[in-house]
Amino acid sequence: MARMAVNLGGVAMKNPVTTASGTFGYGREYDAFFDVSRLGAVTVKGVRARPWPGNPLPRHAEVPGGLLNAIGLQGPGVEAFIADDLPFLAARGVPAIVNVWGTSAEEYAQVAAALEGKPGVAMLELNVSCPNVKEGGASFGTRVETFAEVVRAVRAATTLPIMPKLAPNVPDVRPFVRAAQEAGADAVSLINTLPGMAVDLEARRPILANRTGGLSGPGIHPIALKHVWEAAQVAEVPILAMGGIMDAKDALDFILVGATAVAVGTATFLDPLAPVRVLEGMERWLDDHGVADVNDFRGALRL
Ligand SMILES: Cc1cc2nc3c(=O)[nH]c(=O)nc-3n(C[C@H](O)[C@H](O)[C@H](O)COP(=O)(O)O)c2cc1C
């Protein structure tokens, strides 16, 4: 069987598959479906300094090619996360990648400091690219200066590996990858959802209470693939890739263009077993194609 272990910026993952933030709760929600420690890591829903209610309902809409959401980063706040949610992942022994957000560089740093040294926390993923909150989120991730400021502030606040999550709605992700590296990031992840909208024609209203949302799912996979391929051209740090992974082939596409690990997101809403199905399919495909180690396949794209 192909060797699947990878190193994502200092996180030893026994295989390259994790979950996409916001689509897998805090891990425990999926315990009834499979042992989450089968995954290389579990990436949890965004955590900020204090509890946050998110956006009003409705905040989901199914659209051709995927899902539009405007959850607005609902969450219990970092202290409740540490007390109530983290112990499950620590007990399972699966590395937890904690997705962090805030409305200022200081808040990102505050959350990072609170998570320092907490059992189970393997890495911080910095959500500087959510399209669904007015402050913070994408407003940091679409300008190199503010993006780098957040990464620098978190770098100064923690010794944990850090991984900024890049926005897809920029002309070129490469300046962001370079800025992340200069600011001390250990890895980068991409892509977050793409800003979008759906309307109810008869009611003449937006479907989402927030009016606009973030598009995820199979329709964004080609966009994600292009961004990951371009990111890999300048990345000296490993890449965690996500965007529309529905099956093992989609995941391997990302490894082929240069990603070290992959995250399964929206697919999990259709099939709670999607992350394990993707993992097993990747192993089978690599075996069938005589690839002994997934790391040998990384960046093997022929041009
Ligand atoms: C319902 C939902 C909630 C999400 N919440 C977060 C979040 O809290 N933090 C974050 O960085 N990304 C969040 N995302 C973005 C995903 O992690 C991922 O980047 C995106 O959905 C693309 O992957 P996919 O097409 O496989 O879903 C969310 C996505 C969805 C669909």
CATH code for the domain of 209: 3.20.20.70
Ligand 1, atom 26: nearest CA belongs to which residue?
Answer: 265
Please tell me the predicted confidence (pLDDT) of residue 136. 56
CB 82 within 8 A of CB 118: yes
Note whether 127 and 46 are within 8 A (CB): yes
Within-domain flag for 302 = no
Query: How open is the CA angle 147-163-240, to the nearest 5 degrees?
Result: 120
Asked if residue 19 has its Cβ within 6 Å of ligand 1, the reply is: no
User: Is the Cβ atom of 276 under 6 angstroms away from ligand 1?
Assistant: no
For residue 249, what are its two tokens?
């082939």
132 lines ligand 1 (CB under 6 A): no
* Residue 1 forms part of a structural domain: no
What pLDDT is recorded for position 156?
Answer: 98
Phi, psi of 75 (to 5 degrees): -175, 165
Does any domain span residue 248? yes
Q: Which domain holds residue 20?
A: 6-297
Three-state DSSP state, 242: strand
pTM of the model: 0.98
Number of structural domains in the chain: 1
Quick check: is 147 in a domain?
yes
Express each pLDDT in 157-190 by its tens digit. Answer: 999 999 999 999 999 999 999 999 999 999 999 9
Residue segments in the chain with a per-residue pLDDT below the cut of 50: none
**Residue 303 located in a structural domain:** no
Our mutation pick for probing the ligand 1 site, out of 59, 193, 215, 253, counting the most ligand atoms within 8 A of Cβ, is 193
Q: What is the pLDDT of residue 135?
A: 59
Percent of the chain topping pLDDT 90: 95
Q: Which of 68, 86, 67, 91 is nearest to 76 (CA)?
A: 86
Q: What pLDDT score does 75 carry?
A: 92
Cα 42 from Cα 25, distance rounded (Å): 10
pLDDT in tens, 136-146: 566 788 999 99
Cβ of 112 less than 6 Å from ligand 1: no
Phi, psi of 220 (to 5 degrees): -95, 0
Report CA(242)–ligand 1 centroid distance (Å): 9
